Structure 1
Amino acid sequence: MASRELSSTRLSVASWVIYDMGSTLFFSGVVGLVFPLWVTDVMGGDDATVGYTLTASMLVVFFLSPVLGTLSDRLKRRMPFLLTLTIVGVISTLSIGTFQYPLSIALFCVAVSSVYLSGIFYNGLLADIATKNNVGFVGGIGVGVGYFGGILAVILGFFFLELKGHIFLFRTMAIFILLLSVPLIVTGKYKLDDSFKLPVKKILMHTFLVTFRAVSHTVDNKSWLWFLIARFWYLWAISAASFFAVLYGVNTVNLTEREVQLVLLVGIITGIPMGALWGRVVDRVGPLLILRANVAMWVFLLALAAAIPILDLAKELWWVVGLMSGSALAGLYVSERPYVLSIAPKNRVGEYFGIFNMAGRLAAIAGPFSWGFISVTLGLGQSAAIVCLAVCALFAFFTLTLVKGSGEEI
């Protein structure tokens, strides 16, 4: 049995929670705010540049995550992977803009892939610091505190984007990410089994067999299959909307960069209490109903976002989109995993979550690609791209009506 890499002390729990702030800072600040504006405002790029770059990053994650996950299981260690990927992500983010444009784009890809992959090992460490009785509570604290990383990202952007520029923000955010990672890096244990020999071929074969077996089992459970299809479609919509919200708000809704940042801040702040509120409702009525409600909310929000420029509605409605999206995103986070736990056989929970994550990664590839392809490659513009996302969310909602809860007949 593997030895713990983190103790269950308050210090370890605190260090684990603080690390999530750094990850949220990266995705909210570097990926969602600074990089899109730097590409389009400074470097002469467009939505396709941003979308295809994110797609390339997520392709790397899609292929490496099962291999690294299997390797971690064989080594019975997560901290060495977490440390390496965190450092690579920080250095890559620090270096964006230091070199020529193509190399900076490549560095951004490396940073996104590294930080995303580090999350695999970060989530796995929860088992070390929590028990069956408080795993939900500890995980909930991580999500709630993690939102403060998003708030920090917006505050940094608000005060320094116009004053100091994009490159300064890349470096400043990278430093903050490193500082927020230090407690967990210092607290963790890194000792490896010296007798371990790395059978690369066996690990790759084992990864393929486990994945194939999990996919084949999925086909046998129709409700589970419908859920995964729905998850692919609604995360397609939500991932692309999250990545391109800033550009859409500035370029199509005609808000200023400061206004967009304030709307983003409001959405993040809303998500903090709503996560706890949705959690209580999930405990009362079950996760599937809440999941359907929040996907329906995303259909409405994406349709409203598309209608603002198309129907020439008041741009102040973007505040409604920002406010409600914070609640809708928190509702998804709170309801998805409990649903999986409610239907997964106890001896196949890991298998279910593996396929669950695979559907999300595929969506993270398709979403940014579709936005860049529709808005730039096809020349249809951002409004057409967001209409496509609304249709994806609508398709997901109807697919969810075919999904059954744990107590219903499948």
Structure 2
Amino acid sequence: MGNTLFSAGIVGLVFPLWLTRDMSGNDSTFGFSLSLSMVIVFILSPIAGTISDITRRKMPFLVATTLIAIFATALIGVFNYEVSITLFCTAVILIHLANIFYNALLSDVSDESNVGYIGGLGVGVGYVGAIFAVVCGLLFYDTEGPVFLFKLMAILMFILVLPLFLLGKYSISEARVTEFRSLIETAIKQAFMSLWEARKKKVWAMFLFARFWYFSSIYAGSVFAVLYGVETVDLTEREVQLILAVGIVFGIPSGAIWGFLVDKYGAFLNLKLNVMAWFFILGLAALLPVMDLPAQLWWVVGVLAGVFMAGLYVSERPFVISMSEAHKVSEYFAVYNMVGRLAAISGPFAWGFISSTLGMGQVASITWLSMSAFIGFLVLLYAKSD
């Protein structure tokens, strides 16, 4: 829930508004900051996953990365513009590294018969953090301002992750102790070997290639949604937050429903369905301002985004587990995250470059995102022949 609160509240809501409204930033400033963060995550994620596998420990790394990210979040806006952007990038990097260890925990609490349900339940519960983010925004954005919200959301993140920290399985007795330099060398070697070995599994390789395309579109669309709604659609900050809240409310039960569908029909089929849906969602978002369609349709976009974001998360993690060997789960998730971070580099960069650098505007940016989702869907369709 803490990570979801960060994604929805800090990255998806407060920071972009603070950056563009209060600090005179633009799409490029926000997009390039995210892209730089993801470059670093791209480098570190396979190392983090391999270290987790070698030491057989996930919780200590999850705790450390999350706590430092929370501390960095609380300090955004306290110092000058440049330091605040650095703190934001630091928090983004550490939250995404924490997700590697968090995702790998799924294999510890589930088996093949219920992995979809457990994953779906986790996604549904995780949306509670996003609800906290939206409620905080509605209550305090206009009255207290974004800097206050950075601190408040950091405190809430700590409260939400505290039960996991206290009750999580640390497996200290099973941990391996090894020399640090040897650990890093092994991690780097295994990371590149994992990417090289991915080509031997056709479905896995095609999934990674597809994920680059569809995740770049979905990630960029989600982080720029608030700016798109406020600047292009001419919604108020409050209207955007209410639409986000409705999407989250629909996303909570959707996680459990998608989990049931994954267990019944398989993760890969559900994944293809969700990626195709995102092509239509982003396409609809691009058409609404261009064709001057009724404003009520924005609520439809919000609901669909909440439902199919949950479906995407629920479908992906069980599929990765099904592809990996039991002793390489963290390593597979690291490669999965590494591709996702590469996509998260290109998505925000493309948005900022198209919208601000080329001056083509946000509609052109979101149209490109819709096309990227469609490319990812076509790649997944091709992978069915394996």
| 1:308 Cα deviation after fit | 1.3
Bigger CA radius of gyration: 1
Distance 1:263 1:192, change over 3 A: same
For residues 230 and 217 of structure 2, the distance between their equivalents in structure 1, rounded to whole angstroms, comes to 19
**Candidates 179, 182, 187, aligned match of 1:198:** 179
Letter of the 2:26 counterpart: D
AA matched with 2:336: F
2:86 is equivalent to residue 98 of structure 1 = no
- The AA in structure 2 aligned to 1:28 is A
Shift in Å, 1:394 = 1.3
Match of 2:122 among 136, 142, 148: 142
User: Which residues in structure 2 correspond to 1:49-88 (within 5 Å)?
Assistant: 49-88=29-68
Q: Which runs of 5+ in 1 are unaligned?
A: 1-20
Tell me the SS of whatever aligns to 1:401.
Answer: helix
SS in 2 for 1:397: helix
Which piece of structure 1 moves more, 392-401 or 351-360?
A: 351-360
1:170–1:192 distance in 2 versus 1, CA, 3 Å: farther
* Matched residue SS, 1:402: helix
Question: In structure 2, what residue type is equivalent to 1:298?
Answer: W
Q: 1:277 and 2:257 equivalent?
A: yes
Structure 2 residue runs of 5 or longer lacking an equivalent are none
Distance 1:335 1:126, change over 3 A: closer
In the TM superposition, residue 348 of structure 1 has moved relative to its aligned partner by 6.0
The superposition leaves residues 373-401 of structure 1 with CA deviations (integer Å, 9 ceiling, x where unpaired) of 11111111111110110110111121121
In structure 2, distance between residues paired with 1:138 and 1:262: 29
CA distance in 2, matches of 1:68, 1:348: 13
> Residue 349 of structure 2 aligns to which amino acid in structure 1?
F
> What TM-score results when the alignment is normalised by the length of structure 1?
0.87
What is the aligned partner in structure 1 of residue 26 from structure 2? 46
RMSD over aligned Cα, in angstroms? 2.4
- Structure 2 residue 255 is the aligned partner of structure 1 residue 298: no
Q: What is aligned with 2:15? A: 35
TM-score scaled to structure 2, two decimals?
0.92
Match for 2:66: what amino acid? T
* Alpha-carbon distance in structure 1 between the residues aligned to 2:142 and 2:36: 29
Give matches, 1:171-190, under 5 Å. 171-188=151-168, 189=170
Q: Report the residue type matching 2:352 in the other structure.
A: G
* Contact kept in structure 1, 2:275 and 2:376, CA below 8 Å: yes
Larger mean CA deviation between 358-367 and 211-220 belongs to 211-220
Question: Cα–Cα, structure 1 residues 112 and 206, in superposed 2: closer, same or farther, change >3 Å?
Answer: same
Shift of 1:144: 1.2
Aligned residue number for residue 317 of structure 2 = 337
Q: Write the distance in 2 (CA, Å) between the matches of 1:329 and 1:314.
A: 24
User: What is the alpha-carbon distance in structure 2 between the residues aligned to residue 367 and residue 74 of structure 1?
Assistant: 32
Is structure 2 residue 328 aligned with structure 1 residue 368? no
1:22 is aligned to 2:13: no
- Per the TM alignment, residue 247 of structure 1 is displaced from its structure 2 partner at its CA by 0.5
Answering whether residue 202 of structure 2 is matched by residue 210 of structure 1, we say no
Residue 179 of structure 2 aligns with an amino acid whose one-letter code is: L
Q: Partner of 1:118 in structure 2?
A: 98
Change (3 A) 1:192 1:400: same
Three-state SS of the structure 2 residue aligned to 1:403 is helix
Aligned pairs, number: 385
State whether residues 16 and 30 of structure 2, in contact with CA within 8 Å, keep that contact through their aligned partners in structure 1: yes
Structure with larger RCO (C-alpha < 8 A, sep 6+):
2
8 Å contact from structure 1 (residues 254, 315) kept in 2: no
Distance 2:252 2:273 in 1: 18
Say whether the 8 Å CA contact 1:237–1:393 is kept in structure 2: yes
